[in-house]
A and B are shown apart, each in its own frame.
Chain A
């Protein structure tokens, strides 16, 4: 018996549910698949999952009243597949929930869209030589001249604020402030790249039809995508937890808007990992120019004014 198998079997034996003897032919497949499938489930749900499946397999042995369950190998294989599908779904869903809203997920999605748009452009261009040559020409002779003022305009109308958390906090090998900056610049770079590739892919059919006249469509499109993209990137940065960079959730309205001049009212967003809360005022005034980030660290709260 291999050590892996004994570990898997002991996992089941740890359960307080008594071990149920399955029919021989079904046990051959399901019994072997159960511990293996259990490894696909998230650790915190594994025991519960095993317990549920053991109860289900008990029914298989004792049968139902309405439909006779054929205790043949095909039925057992179908059930084993169901077991694997169930475990895999739980594992996949848990992994997805863990990644959802994280900074890395955001960058991966942007990078994937860049690849999709570049792939479309490459398909329409027909060859790598034409593809690179067109990209180079349009980037150096058009995009750079449009993007530079658009970046300036976006930054001027929506100034980049420094991170609202202590720069000395360390997560991994980088401080929170360094991670905040790194993520912002990576996101801005990918957003600009996506804007470029998306515009190129969108105007490619027109370029093939009317040649350089398509620049009259391409240039305004560059300006719109760069401005909108950068505004999104900056706004997105504001809506993230300042410690772990995950998107803030659970938007909750606080305070009656009719008491705006007497009492604070607005929206409150929280980090799902409990790092802090963001208070977004309904009305900005001299008493509250910016959003307030309330950081929760080791049970104590520190309120920092963003400036």
Chain B
């Protein structure tokens, strides 16, 4: 997936990931995008090598009394795509706020 072909929704997801939002629900909350857009987009980005994922350590999740989450982060290619998307959609920075604290 080249950065030139990124849709606005995908650009928002990349922006959210670059700001430290790590999993589907968190991204849905901060971008306001529906789950039907966020989850398939995350799969596609992972398949195309823009995003990688890993499971949270069980001990960490157990400490917070919740199931372990699958965390997503941008790869090197993903970061480049995110920068290109930010240039293409300058308003992205205003649409997706900085992450202030940890989501429950």
Contacts and interface: CB of A to CB of B under 8 A. Distances in A.
Q: How big is chain A's contact interface, by range?
A: 20 to 34
Nearest to A82: B35
A62 B66 CA distance: 10
Contacts of B23: 55-56, 59
A54 B24 CA distance: 12
Contact of B25 (A64, A89, A93): A64
Contacts of B8: none
Contacts of A58: 66-67
A235 interface: no
Contact of B40 (A48, A52, A85): A85
A86 B104 contact: no
Interface string B39-68: 110011001000000000000000000111
Interface residues of B, number: 26
B34 A59 contact: no
A82 B25 contact: no
B44 A82 contact: no
B29 A86 contact: no
A139 interface: no
A156 interface: no
Given A56-B25, A89-B43, A89-B44, A62 B104 contact: yes
Given A55-B66, A59-B23, A83-B39, 13 more contacts: A20-B66, A56-B23, A58-B66, A64-B26, A64-B104, A67-B29, A67-B32, A78-B34, A81-B34, A81-B35, A84-B36, A86-B43, A93-B44
The 8 closest A-B pairs by CB, nearest first: A82-B35, A86-B39, A59-B25, A89-B40, A85-B36, A82-B36, A55-B67, A64-B29
